[in-house]
Amino acid sequence: MGSRISDMTLLNGKKIKENKMYKVAGWATVGSKSAGAPVWDVVADYCRDKQTIKLDRIETPTLKGVSSNPGIADYVGKLT
């Protein structure tokens, strides 16, 4: 706890600020891949359908140090 997320930046390269609020989506599966689409796609589709917020783009996170995890073998984002 307290060290799982680090070096977090936006797509434009700006660092995430501690005192600013951001909208994010995620779920935590352990040891296997979740069935279905990634949660950020599900949330984006819902928001577009309900027109709750305007989404210009979805930023898929770069995951570091987890490339050997079988649960993300077909991850569409960048792995380092």
Contact predicate 11/59, CB 8 Å: yes
Nearest by Cα to 69 from 32, 37, 34: 32
Helix count and strand count (H, E) for the chain: 1, 0
pLDDT of residue 28: 65
Q: Mind listing the pLDDT tens digit of every residue in the chain (80 residues)?
A: 556 667 777 778 888 887 888 777 666 666 666 677 777 778 778 888 887 777 677 777 778 887 787 777 777 778 87
pTM attached to this predicted model: 0.42
CA distance 53 to 47: 6
